[in-house]
Structure 1
Amino acid sequence: MRSSGVAAVALATASLLAAPCAAKVDRLVSSRLSKRGLDSEGLYNVTILHTNDVHAHLDEWRAGRGTDCTEGSECIAGYARIKDKINEIRKEVPDAIVLDDGDEFQGTLFFAYYGGEKISYAVNEVGYDALTLGNHEFDKGLDELTHFLGNLTFPVVCANLKTNHTGMNALKNWKPYTIIERHNVGIVGLLTPDTKGTSSGAGPGTDISDPAEALTAAVAELEAKGVNRIIALTHIGYDKDIELAQKTRGIDLIVGGHSHTLIGDMEGAAGKYPTIAKNLDGEEVFIVTAYRWGEYLGKISLAFDESGKAVKYEGEPIRLSNTTAQDSKLDGEVAEWRKPFDELAKKVVGKSDVVLDQSTCQKQECTLGDVITDAMYEYRVAAGGKVDGAIINAGGIRATISQGDVTQGDVLNAFPFLNAVTDLTFTGAELWDVFEGIASASSNVSKHEVTSFVQVSSTLQMTWNPSNPVGSRLIDFKVGGQTLDKSKTYTITAVDFLATGGDYFWAPRTDFIALDTLDQILVAYFDKHNPVQAKVASRIVQTTATSPTTGGSDGTGAASVRAALSTAGAVLAVCVAGVALL
């Protein structure tokens, strides 16, 4: 049970919840009301506005693509719209809490050209109350991150991050949590522990602890200070947010980011806004997130009882379409910031006869994944490389490239990390285990949860059954049309991010040399294949088959375990840490 906070203040619920919305508004009287016999009188109301994973989309962008706006296209989002909409809501709810869930870095030329400089200016203009760190805030290292955070005029909260970086530790606005004094609300920040595998700049000296443990400690400190309305501001992903709610107690709301999950009452949504989970005490925790790239502004209003529990809500994600007004001052400043790189961005490097889609790359084969891996493979073959194929982590593909003329800006928006390619050798057994880990999202090679799907060149084919138990989902893998020979050695072209252990496909390696970057390679591919024509070509195939055609490494991979059991004529169910192997 929580101790009482400040005396409950009766506010006009109707005025707090009257802000305009662009989606169906969901209302609920919590089950706690009936349990406690409370009515709406005397409840303390707080409105929370939130963004996440803006990824340097300071300017408006083309809907469905993430690329620069073109004449006749629907132009959405941008910080000028975010600022204007928040200011509009503040006129009716002047004490709304405004939060951001991180991953402000990486994704457009604004970051590639300016680093965090213009991003810090834009978020200061919006006037957030708190921001937590995303994994991509570490992409340029802790010096760049320290400079960015030092320019912010509001608190940065992250309870599970420790570092030996002197500059970071000297920052006055970085803390585990902050208290919004006007509401006596605590905001606890949490960062995904996967940051070291998803950002190249989170190196030695940086430790990211378990979010649930860090949150529990922070809640205890806040409650000891008389704060009993608590929000977790997380960058761990939607599914992990649900798990976090179930593992903890004492929080009312999780405002999340990282997984780019769409929730609400719209087509393609993965869940309700808010999603409701039960904590360790069986009490409701509300979970919200606002998709990605600033397309939506999340808005939820909570009514708290005297014990600090949220007992009513009203909320909706607000889509910032081209009918949403833009703040003229910030819009003009963003236009000025574009000028140094706009000419480069507008340079046409080729043409595509089809949309090169990025939106499905994390789930299945996608056309942009096909094109970039073929470009990588052709680049190495043309240079004399004896390579068998190319792969890329789907998380490294960031935006769709539209049909028609393709610009340098389109290429850089799609591949903003400037990763270099490199050649790596694997035995067939190792390669099988790598792709089993990708299929199962849990790697026997890296001993870690895999944090991205994969895309492969035309010389490779992966057949998998996502319905099989973890550890037995890879059914077949072909190289050059031939089923993998586990005793043979293969050379695969990949990006240097993967080579160093990124996304946990395998353990970090040092036996490689970085070559040209993806943007250079893709521009050359457009020059050679202009216009580009691509279609999904059965490189990544889902099947209902349950048994693999070949095995992994002797005695170590899940596939070889299955083969040994089959030879013995036995069927054994093994469950280790929730991972089932047959």
Structure 2
Amino acid sequence: MKLLLLALAVAGTAVADDYLYSRRLTKRFVDCDGNYNVSFFHVNDVHAHLDQFASSGTACEDPAEGCYGGYARIKTKVDELRAAHPDNLWLNAGDEFQGTLFYQYYGGEKIAETINTLRFDAMTLGNHEWDGGDEALGRFLLNLTFPVVSCNVKSGVPSLNHTIKNYHVFPDHGVAVIGATTPTTPGISQVGNKTVFLDPVREVQRAIWEIRNRTDVNRIVLLSHLGYDEDQELAAQTEGLSLIIGGHSHTLLGDMDDAKGKYPTIVEDRNGNEVFIVTAYRWGEYLGAIDVTFDEDGHALAYHGAPIHMDNSTKLDAKLDGKIQEWAEAFADFAAEVLGETDVPLVQSTCQDGDCLLGQVMADAMFEYRINQTEGATEEKPDLALINAGGIRAEIDAGEITRGEVLTAFPFGNAIVELQFSGADLRKVLEGAVSYFQVSRGVRIEFNPGNEAGSRLVDVTLDGEALDDEREYRVVTLDFLAGGGDNIFVATDDFITLDTQDEVLTQYIAARTPLSPQLEERVVETA
């Protein structure tokens, strides 16, 4: 018997879509009779990019040069797909907050209105949803018109407890969607002491068992904000999932040259059943679209689909785009203020892989700011500046630098602080997080990631001098990191906040325009 195509092609993909029959289907020689197909459309990590954007992630100034994403464009495509594939679920894998002036100016208000307009079927929570704290998140969730799921988040805050569910069952499709949020959230966002994050593996498995015991649903999907690697690990450690739709790691999957894996990535669960894992990059540049065929036991049999590139080939929904442009007018003049120029692009895309130009410029700006503050007080001069790579969010293009670009690149409103460490303690800090930060000029850190933990730091010099374990060092950093964020420093509140990060960079640009930085080897991986 010939195998039949089990799912319709997803229309309008910008990359070649694909389909696969799992080993179970091939071995059982079953056809599509009795098997159930559901189309899943998904986004993740939009980060307040309500409007379309240029390739650097900043505002789209000239659509003719190529613009991407934008919820008005996504709405057009999703409306088309949902009409063509009536058995569908439209899911959001979290991190709607933080990243553009739409969030900085309006908080969650316009984001809530927009995603309600998109008519999502369900959403899970990303870590950045807590950037304004528990109460602000609660107000945002109370305004949503669709279910919010995260089985490992437990809160004593009434608005969170009332709105966050472990899972949601869609009886028309016979599908249950469980949610999960990265348990690292308390260390990277503003979580209150009434909210806790439990082990997602244990809680997801518990939710699967509960769904089986309380319903007749056996098609179970995880809507995850854990990260691509963590999704694969969870799939292998649990049983009962057929599909994981993920976010958090901003991972590009598909057949593009720079993709990090296949769409979907397939992992066997504890019982040897295949779990399809998908995610859709970040900022709404791609829309995930996958048809999944399930057998009568709820196992995934086949898929058909691919990420859809949200470029100019898809028109903007005029009504929603009109609203978004109206909202943007409120901060347009502020965002358009020209601060200076740069002769070269200030690259962000490589910041999490090693030295990057924008990270070095920001660290240098912080270092120079503190040098100027302490002029004439030699004993108080800083020794280095250090920032987290994850706090650098978008590139700044060559040419004029606007205030909007600065705020998009560094959207978190962090303040500059100074901490003191002995050389020995500073060595421990650098050893523990050497691949997660950018440092200021004059610093050279060599590390070997292949060494055992505790021995990865090979050498540290400051202006050519070796780090002295007995000496005291002054480190310029951010209040977020000083308070324990990203687990770089031991949390402390023993510091004085100085100027804000964006203002420090603004001052640096004004003093040095036009910028002509060159990438230096500061944090170096050695064999």
Equivalent residue number for residue 271 of structure 1: 261
Give the Cα–Cα distance (whole angstroms) in 2 for the partners of residues 18 and 424 of structure 1: 54
- After TM superposition, give the deviation of residue 435 of structure 1 in Å: 1.2
1:136-535 matches, cutoff 5 A = 136-171=128-163, 174-199=164-189, 201-224=190-213, 225-384=215-374, 385-439=380-434, 453-535=436-518
**Per-residue CA distance 1:160-207 (angstroms, 9 max, x = gap):** 001111222233xx21100112101000000000001111x1131111
- Confirm or deny: 8 A CA contact 1:185 1:227 kept in the other structure: yes
- After TM superposition, give the deviation of residue 28 of structure 1 in Å: 0.7
Give the Cα–Cα distance (whole angstroms) in 2 for the partners of residues 116 and 430 of structure 1: 39
**Per-residue CA distance 1:339-380 (angstroms, 9 max, x = gap):** 110000000000001100010001110000111001000111
- Confirm or deny: 8 A CA contact 2:155 2:161 kept in the other structure: yes
Give the Cα–Cα distance (whole angstroms) in 1 for the partners of residues 33 and 87 of structure 2: 20
What SS does the aligned partner of 2:278 have?
strand
- TM-score, length of structure 2 as denominator length: 0.96
Give the Cα–Cα distance (whole angstroms) in 2 for the partners of residues 216 and 18 of structure 1: 31
- Confirm or deny: 8 A CA contact 2:10 2:304 kept in the other structure: no
Show structure 1 runs of 5+ residues with no match: 1-10, 442-452, 545-582
What SS does the aligned partner of 2:234 have?
helix
Give the Cα–Cα distance (whole angstroms) in 1 for the partners of residues 403 and 10 of structure 2: 44
Please identify, of 30-39 and 525-534, the stretch whose mean Cα deviation from structure 2 is larger: 30-39
- Confirm or deny: 8 A CA contact 2:360 2:441 kept in the other structure: yes
Question: Residue type of the partner of 1:479?
Answer: L
- Confirm or deny: 8 A CA contact 1:159 1:177 kept in the other structure: yes
Give the Cα–Cα distance (whole angstroms) in 2 for the partners of residues 329 and 469 of structure 1: 57
- Confirm or deny: 8 A CA contact 2:295 2:301 kept in the other structure: yes
Give the Cα–Cα distance (whole angstroms) in 2 for the partners of residues 76 and 17 of structure 1: 23
What SS does the aligned partner of 1:216 have?
helix
Instruction: Check 1:21–1:78 CA distance in 2 against 1; reply closer, same or farther (3 A cut).
Output: same
Equivalent residue number for residue 66 of structure 1: 57
Give the Cα–Cα distance (whole angstroms) in 2 for the partners of residues 277 and 83 of structure 1: 31
Please identify, of 405-414 and 65-74, the stretch whose mean Cα deviation from structure 2 is larger: 65-74
Question: Residue type of the partner of 1:146?
Answer: G
- Confirm or deny: 8 A CA contact 1:188 1:232 kept in the other structure: yes
- After TM superposition, give the deviation of residue 487 of structure 1 in Å: 1.3
- Confirm or deny: 8 A CA contact 1:302 1:311 kept in the other structure: yes
Query: Could you tell me the percent identity over the aligned residues?
Result: 49
- After TM superposition, give the deviation of residue 502 of structure 1 in Å: 0.4
**Per-residue CA distance 1:484-519 (angstroms, 9 max, x = gap):** 111111010000000000000122112111111011
1:94-109 matches, cutoff 5 A = 94-109=86-101
Structure 2 residue 525 is the aligned partner of structure 1 residue 542: yes
Question: Residue type of the partner of 2:105?
Answer: Y
- Confirm or deny: 8 A CA contact 2:274 2:299 kept in the other structure: no
Give the Cα–Cα distance (whole angstroms) in 2 for the partners of residues 221 and 500 of structure 1: 38
- After TM superposition, give the deviation of residue 17 of structure 1 in Å: 3.1
Equivalent residue number for residue 566 of structure 1: none
Q: Give the count of matched residue pairs.
A: 517
What SS does the aligned partner of 1:75 have?
coil
Give the Cα–Cα distance (whole angstroms) in 2 for the partners of residues 37 and 267 of structure 1: 34
**Per-residue CA distance 1:259-283 (angstroms, 9 max, x = gap):** 0011100011110000001111111
Give the Cα–Cα distance (whole angstroms) in 1 for the partners of residues 484 and 397 of structure 2: 31
Question: Residue type of the partner of 1:51?
Answer: V
Give the Cα–Cα distance (whole angstroms) in 2 for the partners of residues 503 and 531 of structure 1: 33
- Confirm or deny: 8 A CA contact 1:388 1:459 kept in the other structure: no
Instruction: Check 1:281–1:297 CA distance in 2 against 1; reply closer, same or farther (3 A cut).
Output: same
Question: Residue type of the partner of 1:68?
Answer: A
Give the Cα–Cα distance (whole angstroms) in 1 for the partners of residues 442 and 216 of structure 2: 62
**Per-residue CA distance 1:91-137 (angstroms, 9 max, x = gap):** 21123100001000000000000000000111111110000000000
Structure 2 residue 114 is the aligned partner of structure 1 residue 125: no
- After TM superposition, give the deviation of residue 40 of structure 1 in Å: 2.7
**Per-residue CA distance 1:539-564 (angstroms, 9 max, x = gap):** 122222xxxxxxxxxxxxxxxxxxxx
Instruction: Check 1:24–1:468 CA distance in 2 against 1; reply closer, same or farther (3 A cut).
Output: farther
1:48-67 matches, cutoff 5 A = 48-63=40-55, 65-67=56-58
- Confirm or deny: 8 A CA contact 2:273 2:299 kept in the other structure: no
Give the Cα–Cα distance (whole angstroms) in 2 for the partners of residues 181 and 517 of structure 1: 50
Equivalent residue number for residue 4 of structure 1: none
- After TM superposition, give the deviation of residue 13 of structure 1 in Å: 4.2
- After TM superposition, give the deviation of residue 311 of structure 1 in Å: 0.6
Give the Cα–Cα distance (whole angstroms) in 1 for the partners of residues 258 and 42 of structure 2: 20
- Confirm or deny: 8 A CA contact 1:29 1:313 kept in the other structure: yes
Give the Cα–Cα distance (whole angstroms) in 2 for the partners of residues 505 and 203 of structure 1: 20
- TM-score, length of structure 1 as denominator length: 0.87
Give the Cα–Cα distance (whole angstroms) in 1 for the partners of residues 109 and 521 of structure 2: 43
Give the Cα–Cα distance (whole angstroms) in 2 for the partners of residues 375 and 433 of structure 1: 25
- Confirm or deny: 8 A CA contact 2:37 2:87 kept in the other structure: no
Give the Cα–Cα distance (whole angstroms) in 2 for the partners of residues 106 and 197 of structure 1: 16
What SS does the aligned partner of 1:436 have?
helix
- After TM superposition, give the deviation of residue 18 of structure 1 in Å: 4.3
**Per-residue CA distance 1:386-441 (angstroms, 9 max, x = gap):** 210100001111100000000000000001001001000111111111111113x7
- Confirm or deny: 8 A CA contact 2:142 2:159 kept in the other structure: no
Give the Cα–Cα distance (whole angstroms) in 2 for the partners of residues 302 and 264 of structure 1: 16
Give the Cα–Cα distance (whole angstroms) in 1 for the partners of residues 413 and 107 of structure 2: 14
Give the Cα–Cα distance (whole angstroms) in 2 for the partners of residues 354 and 26 of structure 1: 39
**Per-residue CA distance 1:29-78 (angstroms, 9 max, x = gap):** 10011343422322110000000000000000001x00011235311100
- After TM superposition, give the deviation of residue 473 of structure 1 in Å: 2.0
Question: Residue type of the partner of 2:290?
Answer: I
Question: Residue type of the partner of 1:108?
Answer: T
Show structure 2 runs of 5+ residues with no match: 375-379
What SS does the aligned partner of 1:61 have?
coil
Instruction: Check 1:161–1:18 CA distance in 2 against 1; reply closer, same or farther (3 A cut).
Output: closer
Give the Cα–Cα distance (whole angstroms) in 1 for the partners of residues 274 and 161 of structure 2: 35
- After TM superposition, give the deviation of residue 151 of structure 1 in Å: 0.8
